[in-house]
Structure 1
Amino acid sequence: MTDVLVTATKRVRNARELAVAITTIPRVGLEATGASDAGQAASQFAGVLVTNLGPGRNKLLLRGLSDGAHTGRTRSTVATYLDEIPVNYNAPDPDLRLVDVERLEVARGPQGALFGAGSLSGVYRIVTRKPDLVDFSAEVRATGAITRGGAPSGAVEGHVNVPIEALNLGIRLSAYDEVQGGYLDDILQQRRDVDQTVRRGGRLMVAFEPNDTWSATLTVAGQHLRSRDTHYTAPGMGLKRAVRIREPHVNDIELATATIKGSWGWGDLVSSTGVVQHRYGSIFDATATKDLYTRTGVTSAYSERTRTRMLVQDLYVTSRGAGALEWLAGVYGSYTAVESPTEYSVQLPRVPLIPVYGDDRRDRVRELAAYGEGSYRLTPDVTLALGARVFAVHTRTLSDVDSENFAPRSLDRSVDFRGVSPKISMTWAISPGNMAYAVASEGYRSGGINSGGAVPLAEKRSTFRPDRLINLEAGLKLEGLSRAVSINSSVFYDMWNNIQTDQYRPSGVPYTINAGDARVLGMETEVAARAGGFTVQVNGRVSAVRISDANSDFTARVVNALPGAPAFSGGALLSYEQALIGDWTLRLVGQFTYVGPSRVTFDASQPKTGGFVRTKLSAEVFGALAGRPVGLQVYALNPLDSFSDTFAFGNPFNPGLVRQITPQRPVTVGITLSAAI
């Protein structure tokens, strides 16, 4: 077992010395398992779940702290970072492909003191490989796969690193192009393999190090993701579906960031500036609710488009050295502009779509914060740390609603939210490599305003209040047998008040409401062991939820569970490596993930989804040809060809009429070739 240094707490630290439940997957682990995105890597993290609405439409969940399976106006509960900059606001996970990545870091539990709103349940960070200022390198990987009854899939990815030593510069370019073949056939539209997804993107990084004290890194990145259709069907239809119109989805993201780092004898400075544009949209068959808007038309469609632009500045200074007192102080500012127009249209025979309802909504969010953390070593083995974030969030919402059969209306309202998010922790170094910790931390999200719908919501539903989550946690990080065995385990008790949740009106139009309070008692454990050529990693999470003070205006039957969050989930990874002839090595890997049953909403009357098991098996041979690393991997996804319901939701305009399910991808066999240049 090797020590992994992480930056998920804004300091470069050994993960095993921090009072935070942190898990990392290094680059070699991602390549060995073939994980190309957050969903495929989730089996290696305790307490990490990903909804399965479809690529670019999913939500990341940590510790089962779910506010709902849908995305809407609420801020994301998990902060997704690319290096030093957040890349999501209230959007579904952008589903960035993990190309040329150094490692993944997941910090579970609220991180409001350091990361602010949007990190209510934790932080998911993608750490990229930085430009090398000395050595040239290049690599290419190509994958092809076939799916039973579906279309073939394929991907090409690679990077090139060019140093310019005379200028103390390094340039690194990464790029990829991927097609995920569809496997659902639409019998109404007479189309095969309708749910194909295309994902392509790239990243250019330029690093400049004029001396040993200062460095600067500029990153420009983007990804385009488009699914031709949705991924749900109805029970009893197998891999067939019957939807009147196509339901495509797009999720595009572009960003530019600049990070400057400086060091002195007493401290380090990090300044990160980022501009992010995130555009995503969906079209749904809304014929089931057509009569609520118009009596004309044969079919109808509901389209939602969102463009989020974020400007972020984060600057902090940390102490250097290993003295008894260590500290961190920073300031943060962001401006977010969200434009999210929605439109309801009807289709007449041989006539283009005719709009009969629309909501032109715009949100402007300003956030300012100052934060800090200090730790003091009380004894050689015991350290106490205190931290806090002082913040102010201002949100202004404008909306113009126009409907064919109802009077138009406009809205211009603002809300403000100010507060302090504290954190206190204590660590006890039991012995080298072994420690215990206790932490109390808090996460928060500001409130907001509802708009939309041909008929306005009642006044008490026109706004939603802020929510807060207080986390009490105790954990152990242990090693034994000459570091061949490691155990990370934590017990947590979370008090989540005024839970914000995105829901749908009977007309299918989304709105946000406070569902009530939750008390969550849980435990998560990760165990890793290595002997000879064998490595075993096992993780699990179990939790019990009690809902109290339920909002009677929301639903009459609230279940004692959080939506999309099963009481138990777990995963296992088994690998074996055997040296072959010369520099060649054989590696066998098996991955298994279990997700227990859960409901998609807070409503106890809704059906459950799951539980199900995901499986992936792979065999790889890697070594060197002419002194250059090469590899060949053969893999099988869902080798038992299980047809499991992974997500009981697909279209908000007819869930009460027809139950919806999202089946697993059928058995898929693929091959990946890699070569360094």
Structure 2
Amino acid sequence: MTRRSANHFAAGTALAALMMADVAMAQAAGADAAAGAADAADSGEIIVTATRKSESINKVPLSVSALSREALDSRGIRNFSDVIRQTPGVSFEKSNTTTNIAIRGVNSSVGAATTGIYIDDVPIQIRQLGYGGGNAYPVVFDLDRVEVLRGPQGTLFGAGSEGGTVRFITQQPSLDVVKVYGRAEGSATQHGAANGEGGISFTAPIIEGKLGIAASGYYRRDGGYVDRISSFTNKVVQKNANSTDSYVGRIALTWQPVDNVKITPAVYYQNIKAADSGESWEAFSNYDKHVFVNANQLAETSKDRFTLASLNVSVGLGAVDVIAVGSYFDRKQAFVQDYTNFDQTLFTGVNALPFFPDQQGPSDFLVAQKNWTGELRLQSNNASSPLTWVLGGFYSHAQQTSLQVVTDPYLPVYLFGAPSPVAGFSVYDQNAVSTDEQAALFGQVTYKFTDKLSVLAGLRYSHTVFTIRSIAQGFVVGPLVDDRGRQSENPITPKFGINYQATPDTLVYASASRGFRVGGYNPQVGVFCGPELASIGYPNGRPTNFKSDSVWSYELGVKSKFGGLGSVQASVYQIDWNNIQQAVALNSCGFQFTNNLGKARSRGFDLQVEVRPTNRLTLQAEIGYVDAKFLDTVKGGPTAAAPFVSKGDAVLGAPWTASFHAQYDFDVFREKGGYVRSDFDYRSKQSKLPPYLNPANGAIDTALTLPPAVAFWSARIGVKPGNFDISLFVNNILDKSTWTRRERASNPFEFFRRETLRPRTFGVTASYRM
């Protein structure tokens, strides 16, 4: 019961033959390629691995945003929300319990992920089973860079990257150089509590040239600014209740027994604890005066802990590199939501605060992941060859547990007139255990006809199997429901491209690529759901299986550098999305199911510009536009009173996204030892109705509104004496209280709640990098 519902690899032989022919090329070519990458890095260019090899971002024929460690520091980026706020064409919605990310309009709150989330080469994204939970995102500290790959990455990254991929690239051990990085920060949030952080990392050789280590530790406290009050006394129960503590630790070793072999085991640990939700209640808050209040009967706490153990082995065989990556990801997310008002108004129809001072109806959630993954890649490493390629295999076994337990001791009192509360009275209790297995073969080849013209072709063949067992019981369920099911598919995802290197500094490219996400099985719903199922066109019950959905993306792009004056990256695209997996909520009985409902089209562009008018002034802008809408009117069946989706409905997400950055370096301590910078991020208002707000679809809650425009402005001034960087900053300069998420439950009587921007925050940051 959710409060918020919402044959084979035919080209393998040919690729293998090409690979074996290329092995005969000179071993020295590999060294040339490495030297080229090093030269690019020394020139200040960002080196990315979006195509599974290291190359300058300006040479990659796809739309990529990359934030280097210097950019992450200078922009004050501390979490994934900060990353997305400065990335064009991407939207992100987050609460303390769920996350939803959209790249170029492709997103979903149900089923398997539409965006791949990677730590280095390891996928960690989650499947939404309908019981809460969202992706885990690494805290931003001591990362080498963050890459956002827009558009489907179905060939090299597979299922889960239907809309795009986000990669967090960690700092790797050094075999010959000592590097140290430390950062401390303190800040004060107006209308709220103080914040602080401290972290240190280092990488150093243990045995020079043979064994190196990278290790880091980090802690951050984000103070709260939402007060929890008693709805009976209006007195504060907990001041600044929504504080969050983040703990991160990582250690990695690199052993190089011989010159062409590197073995890197690593362990990454993260634990985030929230004392309460960041939601505020509109009925009790005064946003113009920056008064943020919730009147929950209990604190909505959450804990999200994961451990990622990985092993990366790379072997250089002259013109060929062999890379093997294995991992185990263990995550547990537990959180509480306050269902006190939800239960009461749902069952009584009375829009009121709790009837009794001690009344509590907690909904306890648990989402756990245990993922095993393995990948083996062979890829060319020959800068002088006209042929470059990558060939590999992938396997994953992802087990997920999702449960929800709703208890309400007072429900028998206010509903049946019981003389006293009934301890542990079960309203809803559902436990689902699912497994996603995937095996895939993939390959991609680029051939240069001339020094300027090249073509690209790739293909991935996957075999996916999804199984689930779901058990549900409780007051709203009726008789015990115990169901299990299975769904399997064999999707193929090709990619084609043509690249033209017009000048050494200008690349023009065009591509067509397919992406998909796996389907699933809908467990049986409770017997009380029958009337509602019939009313929406499913008289014979919910559909058992739902298929994968898929996209075809067509992209045209250009990347160019203007000597030392700057650079530009731009692309236009069209994405056709078919058989979209969408949730169908059964509010009367607390269940939901997923079905393939309709198709959509997304068109737009993204633009990234950097200009350096002088050697002291740097200007940057990132702009994205997305127009995503449904192309069909879809009903559940001929007896449905209203459609689920109407033709022309918008896919939810901001059409315009823009970020602007300026930094001026001045002389203090040394040449350009001081700087002042400003960053401004903007997300436009959505003006077209999504399905849930369209009256033609049966929407009746006229008080719901479209998301507003969101603007966030920050500034920083600092000095760099030696290896230190000391700066003063202010975030949310305009002290905007704009909501970033506003909703009420599926229950139409419940109070509105909203997530807002953190109020204006002043602080000081001190870092040291050697």
| TM-score between both structures, scaled by the size of structure 1 | 0.93
Could you say which structure has the higher helix fraction?
2
- 2:319 aligned with 1:247: no
Amino acid at match of 1:603: Y
Report if aligned partners of 1:557, 1:604 keep a CA contact under 8 Å in 2.
no
User: SS state of the match for residue 641, structure 1?
Assistant: coil
- 2:184 aligned with 1:107: no
Q: Structure 1 residues 375 and 167, CA, compared in 2 at 3 Å: closer, same or farther?
A: closer
| Deviation by residue 1:310-368 (Cα, 9 ceiling, x = unmatched) | 10001110112131112111000000111112111113478754333211211011100
Q: Structure 1 residues 509 and 141, CA, compared in 2 at 3 Å: closer, same or farther?
A: farther
Aligned to 1:593: 681
Q: CA deviation at 1:588?
A: 1.2
- 2:140 aligned with 1:87: no
Aligned to 1:373: 444
Q: Mind listing any 5+ residue stretches in structure 2 that lack a counterpart? A: 1-42, 128-132, 231-235, 287-291, 349-354, 411-419, 637-641, 695-703
Q: Distance in 2 between matches of 1:568 and 1:144?
A: 33
Amino acid at match of 1:646: T
Aligned to 2:725: 631
Of 398, 401, 410, the residue aligned with 1:336 is 398
Q: Structure 1 residues 244 and 226, CA, compared in 2 at 3 Å: closer, same or farther?
A: same
Amino acid at match of 2:726: L
Larger Rg: 2
User: SS state of the match for residue 219, structure 1?
Assistant: strand
Amino acid at match of 2:716: S
Aligned to 2:201: 159
Q: Structure 1 residues 97 and 640, CA, compared in 2 at 3 Å: closer, same or farther?
A: same
Q: Distance in 2 between matches of 1:201 and 1:351?
A: 42
Q: Distance in 1 between matches of 2:219 and 2:592?
A: 33
Could you say which structure has the higher strand fraction?
1
Report if aligned partners of 2:522, 2:542 keep a CA contact under 8 Å in 1.
no
Report if aligned partners of 1:491, 1:522 keep a CA contact under 8 Å in 2.
yes
Matches of residues 432-471 of structure 1 in structure 2 within 5 Å? 432-451=504-523, 454=526, 455=528, 459-471=541-553
Report if aligned partners of 1:286, 1:653 keep a CA contact under 8 Å in 2.
no
Report if aligned partners of 1:645, 1:662 keep a CA contact under 8 Å in 2.
yes
Aligned to 1:305: 366
Q: Distance in 1 between matches of 2:741 and 2:343?
A: 26
Aligned to 2:568: 487
Report if aligned partners of 1:65, 1:562 keep a CA contact under 8 Å in 2.
no
Between 296-305 and 271-280, report the one with greater CA deviation.
Answer: 296-305
- 2:581 aligned with 1:539: no
Aligned to 2:10: none
Amino acid at match of 2:373: V
Of 603, 611, 620, the residue aligned with 2:709 is 611
User: SS state of the match for residue 658, structure 1?
Assistant: coil
- 2:481 aligned with 1:388: no
Aligned to 2:382: 321
Aligned to 1:204: 251
| Deviation by residue 1:422-477 (Cα, 9 ceiling, x = unmatched) | 00000011111101110001110111123376445653444332100110110111
Report if aligned partners of 2:172, 2:203 keep a CA contact under 8 Å in 1.
no
Q: Structure 1 residues 572 and 511, CA, compared in 2 at 3 Å: closer, same or farther?
A: farther
Amino acid at match of 1:376: Y
Q: Distance in 2 between matches of 1:571 and 1:167?
A: 42
Report if aligned partners of 2:587, 2:747 keep a CA contact under 8 Å in 1.
no
Aligned to 2:413: none
- 2:565 aligned with 1:565: no
User: SS state of the match for residue 643, structure 1?
Assistant: coil
Of 151, 175, 190, the residue aligned with 1:133 is 175
Q: Distance in 2 between matches of 1:33 and 1:316?
A: 35
Of 480, 489, 493, the residue aligned with 1:421 is 493
| Deviation by residue 1:527-549 (Cα, 9 ceiling, x = unmatched) | 11112211111111112223123
Percent of paired sites with the same residue: 22
User: SS state of the match for residue 222, structure 1?
Assistant: strand
Q: Distance in 2 between matches of 1:600 and 1:95?
A: 30
Aligned to 2:115: 78
The RMSD of aligned alpha carbons is 2.4
Q: Structure 1 residues 53 and 561, CA, compared in 2 at 3 Å: closer, same or farther?
A: farther
Q: Distance in 2 between matches of 1:504 and 1:635?
A: 45
Q: Distance in 2 between matches of 1:489 and 1:191?
A: 49
Q: Mind listing any 5+ residue stretches in structure 1 that lack a counterpart? A: none
Aligned to 1:648: 742
Q: Distance in 2 between matches of 1:655 and 1:434?
A: 55
User: SS state of the match for residue 8, structure 1?
Assistant: coil
Of 49, 61, 76, the residue aligned with 1:7 is 49
Of 45, 51, 63, the residue aligned with 2:104 is 63
- 2:531 aligned with 1:430: no
| TM-score between both structures, scaled by the size of structure 2 | 0.82
Of 251, 273, 287, the residue aligned with 2:326 is 273
Q: How many pairs does the alignment contain? A: 666
Q: Distance in 2 between matches of 1:631 and 1:337?
A: 44
Q: Distance in 1 between matches of 2:656 and 2:188?
A: 32
Between 458-467 and 596-605, report the one with greater CA deviation.
Answer: 596-605
Q: Distance in 2 between matches of 1:369 and 1:676?
A: 41
Report if aligned partners of 1:293, 1:357 keep a CA contact under 8 Å in 2.
no
Between 294-303 and 198-207, report the one with greater CA deviation.
Answer: 294-303
Q: Structure 1 residues 288 and 104, CA, compared in 2 at 3 Å: closer, same or farther?
A: same
Q: Distance in 1 between matches of 2:258 and 2:749?
A: 64
Q: Structure 1 residues 448 and 213, CA, compared in 2 at 3 Å: closer, same or farther?
A: same
Q: CA deviation at 1:2?
A: 3.1
